[in-house]
Amino acid sequence: MNFITKPLSAGLYFVATPIGAARDITLRALDILASADLIAAEDTRTARKLMEIHGVPLNGRKVVAFHDHSGEGATNRLVLDIAAGKSVAYVSEAGTPLVADPGYELGRAVIAAGLPVTSAPGPSAILAALTSSGLATDRFAFVGFLPASKQQRETEIAMLRDVPFTLVFYESPKRVGEMLANLRDVLGEGREAVVCRELTKKFEEITRGTLGDVAAEFAERNVKGELVVLVGRQGATDVAETDVTEALHEAMKTMRVKDAATLVAGAMGLPRRQVYQIALNLKDET
């Protein structure tokens, strides 16, 4: 692989790396990895393997670990390196750093020190999933990982009910079945949905359908690999007040009034204030 080795200006370089296929790396990313004084990585083994695949020599340069569990000391050391005139390339395990990956605190610290931060864009699971999903891409909202708790997860989903964008989530293989069921129950089984698994890898799989169909397909599956879940947008629908009351009665059995109102309002596409007032009236009646 041809790449250009030349001195880089002092600064932090966020470098996007492949999410699967190694050849998805950009030429500029290879140039930076070949030229940086120091390479920081979420996973040093993955970074070394990627450089080995593309024939990028280290030539005595260090590859240091920097991840979610790195403390303030690790951040400060990298800031001091840059302040001393070094160029630091940062790579997450795969994809674009900071996007549901480490790097945010490091970037903030470098900026606060008045030092340069540069991005070398490239592979991203979010964009790869959007472009292959068949859902609208003119406006989308990246939600990332939903809470692990079922109640918190459903409340957050409800708040997204009438967001007029395609919704993009990350999810773990162990929780995807339960998460899809929650999406179906709160957003409605008729919404369009897509599950992208192992994008750009050998066993890439894209499952499309309604939330009802997709949730049913993944309910009993033993899933492996990286997952992106997308849900199409939908507007509000007319709902009978008796349905709202019934839903609130059920939700308030296990939830606070505020959380129950948020969940029901989101699920039914109604103004939260209106549903909250109904919930307060119901509480006063009991």
- Give per-residue pLDDT as tens, 122-150: 999 999 999 999 999 989 999 999 999 99
Residue 264: count other Cβ atoms within 10 Å of its Cβ.
30
In this prediction, residue 235 carries a pLDDT of: 53
**Chain centre to alpha carbon of residue 166:** 14
Low-confidence stretches of the chain (pLDDT beneath 70): 1, 235-239, 269, 286
Pairwise CA distance, residues 119 & 115, whole Å: 14
Burial class (CB in 10 A: 0-12, 13-18, 19+), 257: middle
- pLDDT at position 267 is 72
Q: Burial-class residue 86 by CB neighbours within 10 Å (0-12, 13-18, 19+).
A: middle
**C-alpha to C-alpha distance for 257 and 268, rounded to whole angstroms:** 16
**Terminal CA-to-CA distance of the chain, rounded, Å?**
72
Query: Which token pair is 263?
Result: 């969940």
| 211: nearest Cα among 234, 188, 228, 233 | 188
76 contact partners, CB below 8 Å, separation of at least 6: 109
pLDDT of residue 236: 47
pTM to 2 decimals? 0.80
Determine the pLDDT at residue 263: 85
Q: Return the amino acid letter for 249.
A: H
Quick one: which of 154, 153, 137 has its CA closest to 145? 153
Gap between the Cα atoms of 44 and 189, Å rounded: 43
Q: Which residue, among 57, 7, 73, 67, has the nearest Cα to 37 in the 3D structure?
A: 7
Task: Determine how many CB atoms are found less than 10 A away from the CB of residue 46.
Answer: 15
Alpha helices (H) in the chain, listed in sequence order: 27-35, 44-53, 72-83, 104-112, 125-133, 150-159, 176-187, 211-218, 241-251, 257-268, 272-285
